[in-house]
Structure 1
Amino acid sequence: DSDTTGLDLVLLMLLVHSPGHVCRYPLGMTGGKIQDEDISASSQWSESTAARYGRLDFHDGDGAWCPDAVAESSSLKEFLQVDLRTLHFVTLVGTQGRHAEGMGNEFAQRYRIKYSREGSLWVSWRDRQGSQIIEGNENAYDVVLKDLEPPIIARFVRFMPVTDHSMTVCMRVELYGCEWLDGLVSYSAPLGHEMIIRGQHVNLNDTTYDGAVGISMTEGLGQLTDGSWGLDDFTQSQVYGVWPGYDYVGWANVSFPSNEVEMMFEFDRIRNFSLMKVHCNNMYTLGVRIFQQAVCYFRSESDWEEKAVSFKPRVDIISPSARFITVALGNRMANAIKCHFAFSDTWMMFSEIAFQQSGVQHLSRRNPTHKTDDSNTRILVGCLVAIIVILLAIIIIILWRQVWQKMLEKAFRRMLDDELTARLSVPREAFTNSSTSDAESTSTYERVFPLDYQEPCGLRKSPEFRATENLVGSVSSQQILGDLPDMVPHYAEADVVRQQEVPSTRGYCIAAVGVPLAPGRDGALEEFPREKLTFKEKLGEGQFGEVHLCEVRGMQDFMNKDGSGPCNEPFLVAVKTLREDATKNARNDFLKEIRIMSRLRDPNIIRLLAVCVESDPLCMITEYMENGDLNQFLSRHELQTSTTDRLFHTLIHMATQIASGMKYLSSLNFVHRDLATRNCLVGTNRTIKIADFGMSRNLYRADYYRIQGRAVLPIRWMSWESILLGKFTMASDVWAFGVTFWETLMLCKEQPYSQLSDEEVIENTGEFFRDQNKQVYLPKPACCSDAVYCLMQSCWMRNAKERPTFQQIHSTLMECQGYLHTD
C-alpha cells in the first residue's frame, strides 16, 4: 500500500552510498568525445586495426588497435597516442584486448605510459615506488582499470605495450579524469632538503616531479599538484610503503641567506587570478611553521610587473595541525607568478598548491596546437538540454519525496492513535533484489536477522515489570506515560529558560568565565588570552573545526562569582576551534553554541570556561575530565565474577549521573542528539559529565554512518523515528540513553548491534516501524539483572509516548542504587 511504499523509498534512499572520487570521469574514447583524428599510433597491423579502433568496449573494424611490429620489452617503439586537446588531470586508465567475437585473442599483459603537456617533451610515468610497468590484461575480454598513483597532468598520453617474449598485442583503451582548470603547466622551486629526527632520515624532496632536476627543479609538475595533501605529522603518510616525509616538499632556512624560498608558476595562457591556496605543515614542536609572509609578482607579457601582492597569515599558537593558507592575489592578470615565501621558523613544508581564477583573458595568445571543434555549439546545446532534464527530474523527485513523507507521517500518527483498530500490513517483497525474478525474490529483512526475537517488556504489568517493582518500588503505568513534544530543538537553537547553581568540585581546579547568573539573560563572555593555552594533544577533527586538549594557566582572573577562589595550578581543558574558512552559517552556529553553553549549569554537564572570539580561529574553552571519555575508561576494565556486584553498583551510579544530566537538559527543552559513552567524560571519584566531542574524534569514526547529501549520523544510538522521519526529541534522547546504558553495563567491549552492518541497522529500524515482532533488540549484558534490562528496554518502546522520561529514569535508578546499597 502507499504507506509501505513510502517507507521503502525512504530506506532505499538511506542505503545509497556517495561516490568516493570526483575526478574519475571517462574522457571520451568510449563515448566518442575524442575524435578519430585525435587518436594516432606508431604503426598499424592493417587498416582494420588502425588507431581509431583502439576505443574501449568498441568492436568496429577488427576490434582493436594492433601495431605492425611485435612489441618487445627492449624496444618500446610501438605506441597508441591520444590527444585530449587541452590539459587534463588523468587519474585512471582502462585497457582491453581484441577478441573480435572469437576471431582474435590478442592483448597486452603489461604496458607503460608516456605523457606530454606540449607535444615535444615526453615523460615516462612512474608509480610512487618508481616502477614504470603497469600490469595489463589477462585475457582479451575483460576491462582492467588501473589507478595512476600519482595522477598525471597532460594533453598527450601514449600507451606502450610491453611483453617478456615476442607476441602479437592489441589494445583498446580509455582515460579517466577531468579537465585541468588551473592551467598550470610547470612550477620551479629549490630542491627539497633532508631532516634528521632522532636518528630518522626524513626526505622532503619532490619525488614525483616530472621536470628537470639539477640545482633546482624546473619546467615540471609534481607532488605540489597531485591533488592530495599531507597529514599533521609530516613523518607519516597516507601512501603505503613510502619513506618519512614523502607527502611534503620542505626546506631549512639555513640554506637561504635571504630567509625565503622562491617559487615560480607558469600557466598555459594569461589568466585572472583571485586566490592561491597553499597547504602547509605546522608542527611547531619540531621547528616547522607556516610561512611568515608571501610576496607574489606577476608577468603578463615578457617582463615582471613591479607591483607585488603581499600577504601575512595569522599566527596560530594553539594548533599544530597542517592547514591550507589562502593568499589573496587581487584578481591580477598573468601567465606566470613568482612568489617569495618567508620562513617563520627553522623549517617550511608544503604539500599542495592550487590557484583559483575569476576569469580568463579573452585576448590572450591561443595555444597553436589547439584544434577547433566544429561541433562545440551542438555539444553545448546538448549539455544545456541535459541539464534542464536533470533539473526537472530532481524537482519531480523532491516533490515525490515530500508527498511520501507526508503520507508516512500520517501513517505514523495513525499508528499512535489509541483508537487504532487496524495495523499496517506490509508485503515482504518490498525489499527484494531487482536482479532476481519474482519467483526467486526473498525479503531482505528475513535474510539479515538470524537472531531470536526478544519481546520488549516495557513497564507494563509483566513478570519482568513485577520484578522491577520488587527491586525499586512500585511505579504506576500512569507515571511512565507522559506527553512529549513532537519536536524540540538541538542545543544550537534551544531556548534555555532555567538555571541551576553548580557546587565546587574537589580535587579539580575549575574556573568559569563570565557565566551569567540571571536566568534567560545573554551575558557577554570575557576574552581569554589564547597565549595562555599550551597545546597537549589533538582530540579530534570535524567538518568545521578541531578539538584540542590544552593546559591552561592564569584562569583565576576569569573566575566566576561562585568560584572558590584563585587557583594557580595548571589544569587540562578542551579547546573547540572553528576553521577560519568556515561558512557564515557555521560561524553563526558556533556563536550560538557558545551562548547556549554559557547558560548550562549542572554538575553532570560539561561547563564552558572561556572563549576566544576577538580573532580567528574562534575558540570555546570547556572542562576536560582527567580520566578521559567513559568509553575508553570502561573498556580498560574487565568483568570479574568476584567483583560483579560491586562493579554493577558502580556502573549503575555512572548511569544515574548520566540520567541526572539528561534530566537537567530535558528540563530546558534541550535535545542532545548524540548521547553515547564517547560523549561522557570521567573525572575524579568517577564523576560523569556529558559533552559532545565524540563526532570529531577519529577514534569513533566507525560509530557514525555517512549518508549521501547528509551529515554523518550515529545510527546505532538513534531511535527509529530519528532515522526514518528525521525527528529528534527528548524521547529519541531517551532511546539513546538506553543504548548508552547498555554500553556502560557491557564495559564498552562491544559496539551496539555489532553483529549487524550499518545497512542492516537501518533495516532494523524499519522493523520497529512495521511492528511485526521482527525487530532486533540489544541483548542483556552479563552483569545486568532482569529488572534493570526491563528498564533499559522500556527506552526502546516503539511508541515514543510510552518511553519513560529522564525524570522517571533518574528516580528509578536512584531507588535501584538505594536497594543495591542496602543489599
Structure 2
Amino acid sequence: MKVMEVKLITQNAFVLLLAVTVRAQVNPEMCRYPLGMTGGQIQDEDISASSQWSESTAARFGRHVYGDGAWCPSIVSEPDGLKEYLQVDLRSLHFITLVGTQGRHADGMGNEFAQRYRIKYSRDGSSWVGWHDRKGKQIIEGNKNAYDVVLKDLEPPIIARFVRFMPVTDHSMIVCMRVELYGCEWLDGLMSYSIPDGHQMIYRGLDVFFNDSVYDGASGLGQLTDGTWGLDDFLHSHIYSLWPGYDYVGWNNRSFPRGYVEMIFEFDRVRNFSSMKVHCNNMFSRGVRMFRQVTCYFRSGSEWEADPVTFRPTVDRVRESARFITVPLGDRTASTIKCRFHFSDLWMLFSEVAFQSGSAVYNTSLAPRDDPTHKVDDSNTRILIGCLVAIIAILLAIIVIILWRQVWQKMLEKASRRMLDDELTARLAIQTWAFSFNHSSLSSEGGSTSNSTYERIFPLCADYQEPSRLIRKLPEFSQSTECLGKTSGSDGAPHYAEADIISLQESSDSSTYSITAINMNFFAGTDSSMREFPRQKLTFKEKLGEGQFGEVHLCEAEGMQDFLGEDLSIEGNNECPLLVAVKTLREDANKNARNDFLKEIRIMSRLRDPNIVRLLAVCVDTDPLCMITEYMENGDLNQFLSHTMYFLSPVTSSAFSYTKLIGMAMQIASGMKYLSSLNFVHRDLATRNCLVGKKYTIKIADFGMSRNLYRGDYYRIQGRAVLPIRWMSWESILLGKFTMASDVWAFGVTLWEILTLCKEQPYSQLSDEQVIENTGEFFRDQGKQVYLPKPACCPDRVYNDLMLSCWRRNAKQRPSFQDIHSQLLESLA
C-alpha cells in the first residue's frame, strides 16, 4: 500500500508540474488534450460543412461518438478529396498534434466511413493551407470499418483556429465521419516569422540541408515552432530515415557580410515579453557554435524603438551538446520583435525558438479591440505557479520521508541475509553484459477503463496494449499451459528479467551447455590481458548514449597501440590517438550494478572473434569504472547504409553491389555463430548494433540501444520494459522467451534491413500495437500473419529459403547460424 501511495503522489505531482510546463511552452508529447468535439466544449455553431446528406447527418453530428449520428456529405466524395469537407472552428489559435476519426455504423446497420482524408487549416478563415507530413505526403490513412476510432499523429503539428477534414475515396462510395482534435491552446501568440533561407553544408562528402522544411508558406510558421528539438549531432534526426540536418535551420557565416542573421517575429497583439528561448547546436568540432551575441529590437506601432536589448551568452567551448539559451527581454512591450544573431564560428544552427510573454499594459489608443473569441487571463499566472510549486515541494517532502522509512526497514530486514544474497547473485545470469538487452519485469496490473471512446492521449500511455495482456485474449491461451508454464509467472504473464535467460535456454540436447556453467567459468579468476589503461590518456570527443547506471563515450586513446602490444594491436596509426568507445559506470551506482559491471568486463575480455567488438582495456583503479572497447570509424551499419546510399552517385553506388551486402550479412552471421557456440543470446541484433570499419568490416556491438537516434525502434511500456518488437520473435514478445532461435529471427530482420539499405523500419506500415497483434497471428498459426516483403534486390531463393525460414513459427525448425552462414556463402556461388 505504501508503494502504491508513493506512486500516486508522484503521479499527481508530475501531472501538476506538466500543467505548468504546457502553459509555459508547448511540448508536442504533452499537448494532446481533446479539444471538445466529444466533450461538448466546441459548440454546434462552430461546426460546419460543405454539404449534408440529410438533417440527421448534418455537420453538428460529426461530434457524436455513440449512436448512429455522423456527418455525411450530400454527394459522393471525389478521389482528390478537395470539395467536400467538415470544418471545426476552435475560436482561438490551437497547437494541434493529433486527430481521431470514426465512421457511422448505425447500430450495426450502416457501413459508411472515410478510408482516407486530407486536412486543411487556417488561422484567419480566409487563407487555407494543406497539411502534409515531413516527407510531403498529404493523404492520411483513415478508417477500415465504421466503428473503430483511428488516431493519427500530425507530424509536423499545426497551429490553427479552423480545421477542415476532407474525405478521399479511391472509388465512388458514401462516406461519413466523426472527428476529434487533440492539442492545447497556442498561448505564445506568435503569428509568423521571417528568416533567411537555410544553407547547405558538405560534410565528409555528405550534403547536409538546413532548410526550414515544414514552413507552411501562408503565415510563416514552421520548423522553429514545431516543438521538436534537434539532437547533439546535427547529422542525426528524431525522425526515422530523414536526411542529415533535418531538425535544424542553419546558415553559413560567409553568406552574411555583416556577421549576423536577422529574424522578425510577428505576434497577435501587443505583449509583455520576459524572455526568449533559442535551441542551438554547439558541435564546434564541425565548425558549429551557439551565437556570440543577439540584439533584439521592439515595435508596438509603426516605428522600431531606439533602445534594443543586447545579450551575450557564455560560449561553451567544452561540451558539444545542443542546448536552450534563455535570452532575457526585460519585460519589453511589443507586437513585433526583430533579433539579430551574431556568428561565433562558421555555422549557426537553430531548431526551436519560443517566447515567454503575458498580457501587456499599454496605451489603449494603440490597443486592438477585444476579441471575444480569444480571452486569455494571465493576471493570476504567477500566483498559480507559486501555489503549484509550493504544493509540489510539500508532496516531494512527503515522498522523501516515506521512501526514507522504507529504505531503513529494508536495510534492517536484509542485514541478516547479505551473505546469502551475495551467493545468490553469483549464480544469476549477468544483467547488463554487452550482448544482452536490458529489460525490466512486466507487471500484470490491470489498466483502468473509461466510458469515452476519445480519451486524453499520451504517447505510450497506460492504456496501450501490453504483450502480457494481449496473449490472455488469445483463445488458445487456456489450452497452451504446457508452453506457457515454463516461461511465465503464476499469472501467465511473461516477465523480461535478465535471469530468465538461464531457464529459457535449457535444452534436452546433451551437447548444449547451459549458460550458467559458461558464466561461472568466466567468473573464475581474472584475465591477465585486461590491464589498467591510464585514464589521463583518454580525451572525450562525444557522448554516444546513456543508460540507468552509466554512459558510453567516444574518446581518443593516446598510446593505445603501444599499450596493447603486438599480439593485441588493432588497425590504426601508431602515431595518432585511437578512437575508442568508453563505457563508464556512474559513481553513485549501487553495489549490484557495480558487480555486474565487473562481471561484464570478465566476459568481454574472453570474447575473441573478428566480427565481435573487442574489449581493449579497463580503468578500474578509481571511480568511475571504465571499459574501453573498439570503435569503428564508419559508425553503425544502419546509418552507414541509409546515409551513404542516399548520397552516392550512380557510379560510386556500384560499390554497394548485392555481393557486398551479402558479404556484410555473412560477417554478422559469422559473429553470431561464434556467440551461439558459447550459448550467448544477443537479444537485440539489428543493423544499429553492428559497427562498420575499413574495407566494410562488420563487428557486432550493443551501442545502438543507448542512442537517442534509435529510440523510435523500441516499444516503451511505462515503468516496465523497453522492447525492440520489430526485430523480436513472436515467442520473445508474447512469452518473454529469448534463445538462439530468437536471435535467428532477429537476424532475418537484420538481413532484410541490409538488402533494403535501411531505407525504412521493418513493418513501417504497421503501428507498434499492430506489430504486437501480428505476433498473435504467428501464435495462432492460421495463415493470417504478415511477413516482411521481399527486398527488390533479393533473389527468390534467399528470401524463401533463408529469410522466411528464420521466421518460422516453430523455433526448432529455424536454421542455426552455422546453416545461415553456409547458405549465404552458397548464394554467392
Normalised to the residue count of structure 1, the TM-score between the two structures is 0.52
Establish whether residue 536 from structure 1 lines up as the match of residue 541 from structure 2: yes
| TM-fit CA distance, 1:73 | 2.3
RMSD: 5.9
Contact 1:318 1:534 in 2 (8 A): no
Contact 2:167 2:175 in 1 (8 A): yes
Contact 1:634 1:747 in 2 (8 A): no
Contact 1:289 1:345 in 2 (8 A): yes
Q: Aligned partners of 1:97 and 1:182: how far apart in 2?
A: 35
| TM-fit CA distance, 1:174 | 0.3
CA offset digits 1:491-536 (Å, max 9, x no partner): xxxxxxxxxxxxxxx9976779xxxxxxxxxxxxxxxxxxxx9753
Residue 808 (structure 1) aligns with: none
Q: What runs of 5+ residues in structure 1 fail to find an aligned partner?
A: 213-218, 419-429, 454-467, 473-505, 513-532, 554-568, 577-589, 598-604, 606-627, 641-677, 700-745, 764-775, 780-823
Establish whether residue 24 from structure 1 lines up as the match of residue 13 from structure 2: no
Establish whether residue 371 from structure 1 lines up as the match of residue 373 from structure 2: yes
Cα–Cα, structure 1 residues 234 and 544, in superposed 2: closer, same or farther, change >3 Å?
Answer: farther
| TM-fit CA distance, 1:689 | 2.8
| TM-fit CA distance, 1:691 | 2.8
Q: Aligned partners of 1:546 and 1:312: how far apart in 2?
A: 32
| TM-fit CA distance, 1:408 | 10
Matched ranges for 1:33-48 at <5 A: 33-48=41-56
Instruction: Work out which of the residue numbers 611, 620, 631 in structure 2 matches 1:688.
Output: 620
Residue 137 (structure 1) aligns with: 143
Q: Aligned partners of 1:407 and 1:550: how far apart in 2?
A: 38
Residue 194 (structure 1) aligns with: 200
Contact 1:111 1:135 in 2 (8 A): yes
| TM-fit CA distance, 1:299 | 1.0
Q: Give the counterpart letter for 1:635 in structure 2.
A: M
Contact 2:263 2:338 in 1 (8 A): yes
Cα–Cα, structure 1 residues 632 and 202, in superposed 2: closer, same or farther, change >3 Å?
Answer: farther
Matched ranges for 1:99-138 at <5 A: 99-138=105-144
Matched ranges for 1:439-458 at <5 A: 444-445=489-490, 447=492, 448=494
Q: Give the counterpart letter for 2:37 in structure 1.
A: M
Residue 233 (structure 1) aligns with: 233
Residue 689 of structure 1 aligns to a residue whose secondary structure is coil
Cα–Cα, structure 1 residues 253 and 96, in superposed 2: closer, same or farther, change >3 Å?
Answer: same
Establish whether residue 80 from structure 1 lines up as the match of residue 12 from structure 2: no
Cα–Cα, structure 1 residues 98 and 347, in superposed 2: closer, same or farther, change >3 Å?
Answer: same
CA offset digits 1:164-184 (Å, max 9, x no partner): 222211110000111212111
Contact 2:58 2:72 in 1 (8 A): yes
Cα–Cα, structure 1 residues 401 and 66, in superposed 2: closer, same or farther, change >3 Å?
Answer: farther
Residue 208 (structure 1) aligns with: 214
Instruction: Work out which of the residue numbers 593, 607, 617 in structure 2 matches 1:638.
Output: 607
Matched ranges for 1:387-786 at <5 A: 402=402, 409=409, 413=413, 444-445=489-490, 447=492, 448=494, 536-538=541-543, 540=545, 631=600, 634-635=603-604, 637-638=606-607, 683=617, 688-692=620-624
Cα–Cα, structure 1 residues 266 and 196, in superposed 2: closer, same or farther, change >3 Å?
Answer: same
Residue 258 (structure 2) aligns with: 258
Establish whether residue 96 from structure 1 lines up as the match of residue 65 from structure 2: no
Task: Find the structure with the greater CA-based Rg.
Answer: 1
Q: Taking every aligned residue pair, what percent have the same amino acid on both sides?
A: 55
Q: Aligned partners of 2:407 and 2:284: how far apart in 1?
A: 57
Matched ranges for 1:324-403 at <5 A: 324-357=324-357, 359-361=359-361, 365=367, 370-371=372-373, 402=402
Contact 2:115 2:169 in 1 (8 A): yes
CA offset digits 1:624-651 (Å, max 9, x no partner): xxxx9984785364279xxxxxxxxxxx
| TM-fit CA distance, 1:406 | 6.6
Instruction: Work out which of the residue numbers 180, 185, 189 in structure 1 matches 2:191.
Output: 185
| TM-fit CA distance, 1:117 | 1.3
Instruction: Work out which of the residue numbers 151, 156, 159 in structure 2 matches 1:150.
Output: 156
Residue 190 of structure 1 aligns to a residue whose secondary structure is coil
Contact 1:551 1:570 in 2 (8 A): no
Residue 52 of structure 1 aligns to a residue whose secondary structure is helix
| TM-fit CA distance, 1:194 | 1.6
Cα–Cα, structure 1 residues 687 and 6, in superposed 2: closer, same or farther, change >3 Å?
Answer: closer
Q: Aligned partners of 1:758 and 1:51: how far apart in 2?
A: 38
| TM-fit CA distance, 1:353 | 0.9
Q: Aligned partners of 1:166 and 1:282: how far apart in 2?
A: 54
Q: What runs of 5+ residues in structure 2 fail to find an aligned partner?
A: 19-27, 419-442, 448-468, 505-519, 525-530, 559-574, 632-677, 685-701, 703-714, 722-735, 740-829
| TM-fit CA distance, 1:264 | 0.5
Q: Aligned partners of 1:188 and 1:85: how far apart in 2?
A: 26
Cα–Cα, structure 1 residues 55 and 444, in superposed 2: closer, same or farther, change >3 Å?
Answer: farther
Q: Aligned partners of 1:238 and 1:294: how far apart in 2?
A: 28
CA offset digits 1:753-773 (Å, max 9, x no partner): x9xx9999999xxxxxxxxxx
Q: Give the counterpart letter for 1:356 in structure 2.
A: Q
Residue 48 of structure 1 aligns to a residue whose secondary structure is helix
CA offset digits 1:8-45 (Å, max 9, x no partner): 87899999999993111111111111111211111212
Residue 221 (structure 2) aligns with: 221
Q: Aligned partners of 2:117 and 2:579: how far apart in 1?
A: 56
Contact 2:557 2:580 in 1 (8 A): no
Residue 74 (structure 2) aligns with: 68
Q: Aligned partners of 1:135 and 1:402: how far apart in 2?
A: 49
| TM-fit CA distance, 1:93 | 0.3
CA offset digits 1:117-155 (Å, max 9, x no partner): 122211100111101111111111010001101111111
Q: Aligned partners of 1:361 and 1:178: how far apart in 2?
A: 25
Q: Aligned partners of 1:400 and 1:14: how far apart in 2?
A: 11
Contact 1:15 1:759 in 2 (8 A): no
Q: Give the counterpart letter for 1:344 in structure 2.
A: S
Contact 1:281 1:290 in 2 (8 A): yes
Residue 571 (structure 2) aligns with: none
Cα–Cα, structure 1 residues 239 and 278, in superposed 2: closer, same or farther, change >3 Å?
Answer: same
Instruction: Work out which of the residue numbers 29, 49, 53 in structure 1 matches 2:57.
Output: 49
Contact 1:233 1:283 in 2 (8 A): yes
Q: Aligned partners of 2:402 and 2:131: how far apart in 1?
A: 51
Q: Give the counterpart letter for 2:323 in structure 1.
A: R
Q: Aligned partners of 1:760 and 1:54: how far apart in 2?
A: 33
Contact 2:275 2:330 in 1 (8 A): yes
Residue 291 (structure 1) aligns with: 291
Aligned residues: 515
Residue 308 (structure 1) aligns with: 308
Contact 1:682 1:689 in 2 (8 A): no
Q: Give the counterpart letter for 1:23 in structure 2.
A: C
Cα–Cα, structure 1 residues 105 and 292, in superposed 2: closer, same or farther, change >3 Å?
Answer: same
Q: Aligned partners of 2:581 and 2:281: how far apart in 1?
A: 20
Contact 1:547 1:575 in 2 (8 A): yes
Residue 719 (structure 1) aligns with: none
Q: Aligned partners of 1:542 and 1:407: how far apart in 2?
A: 24
Q: Give the counterpart letter for 2:38 in structure 1.
A: T
Residue 60 of structure 2 aligns to a residue whose secondary structure is helix
Q: Aligned partners of 2:144 and 2:120: how far apart in 1?
A: 22
Q: Aligned partners of 2:274 and 2:550: how far apart in 1?
A: 25
Contact 1:272 1:359 in 2 (8 A): yes
Normalised to the residue count of structure 2, the TM-score between the two structures is 0.51
